[in-house]
Amino acid sequence: MHSRLQSWIVAGAMLLVVGSPVFGGEPLRDPTRPPATGSGKTIQDGQNPLKWRLTATIIGPERRVAVINDRALQIGQNIDGAVLVAVEAGSARLVHGGREMQLRLHEMAVKRTVRKTP
């Protein structure tokens, strides 16, 4: 009788383990990892939100630069089939396949312009 009860307990424990998400084929998510929909997502629907990622914008008196996918681009340059058409403080616009997409930096990462004192 004791061994039969023990067998049932072991079988039940095995079902719980095999039925858990660890063994069910679902990957475990790292709770400390930031969500994938952070900075640099595209705005237009139908586009992969992670294909182009904006990490910085640099605006000076003579040039505007957007850092997309770790590449510094000026207006008119191409990246992965898209053309950079505009750079603003904290955002950039790309045209790909006739569609215009806006990439944005995370709001906390935007550096504000400081006025020079005379």
Q: What pLDDT, on a 0 to 100 scale, did the predictor assign at position 8?
A: 75
Domain hosting residue 103, numbered range: 54-109
State how many domains the chain has: 1
CA–CA gap between residue 96 and residue 47 (Å, rounded):
10
What distance in Å separates the CA atoms of residue 89 and residue 58, rounded to the nearest whole number?
8
In a domain, 99, yes or no: yes
More confident residue, 23 or 79: 79
**Residue 33 or 104, more confident:** 104
| pLDDT for residue 105 | 85
What confidence score (pLDDT) does residue 6 get?
74
Q: Which amino acid is at 27?
A: P
pLDDT beyond 80 at 67: yes
Q: Is residue 40 part of a domain?
A: no
CATH of the domain at 93: 2.30.30
pTM more than 0.85? no
DSSP assignment of 44-81:
STTS-TTSS-EEEEEE-SS-EEEEETTEEEETT-EETT
Closest CA to 55 of 31, 79, 76: 79
